[in-house]
Amino acid sequence: MSDAPKDGMIYFFVGEGPGKDEIDRGRGFVGAAGRELFTLAEAAGISRSEVRCGNVVKCLPVGAEYGKYSLDPEAIKCCSSYLEEELREWSGMIVPVGGVAAKVIAQLEPIRRWRGVIVRRPLSLGKLRSS
């Protein structure tokens, strides 16, 4: 699940995967965590209209309960071509939201070492990884 890019979008927030609220509403980052994220973004001067939202995986894993699953490498691998295409077409800033996105997109781990750090580096498309 990912928002379609629109004029005026500057940031691409990429999370782990959609939750129940996102699946029900067909839009990323609309659940409790997303509301908190956008409260913080707006405090930093970033409006929702400037943000495209997407995820490492595009759907809830089969048989998983909302909020009670962890992504396995196969789920990430299955969706990596979709994410690579989205990132290839994007010219703005990419913001991994959380440890899974930071690891898959930018090979940044452990996440606690990178909190609050702006990393400027070219993407390694075709090398999105899950392990």
DSSP characters over 83-119: HHHHHHH--SEEEE-SHHHHHHHH---SGGGTTT---
Q: Which residue has the tokens 């939201």?
A: 97
Q: For 4-60, what is each residue's pLDDT tens digit?
A: 667 878 999 999 888 888 888 988 999 999 999 999 999 999 999 999 999 998 887
In this prediction the pTM is: 0.84
Residue 3 maps to a domain: no
Residue 127 maps to a domain: no
CATH assignment at residue 60: 3.40.470.10
The number of domains in the chain is 1
The whole domain housing 90 covers 11-113
Residue 120 maps to a domain: no
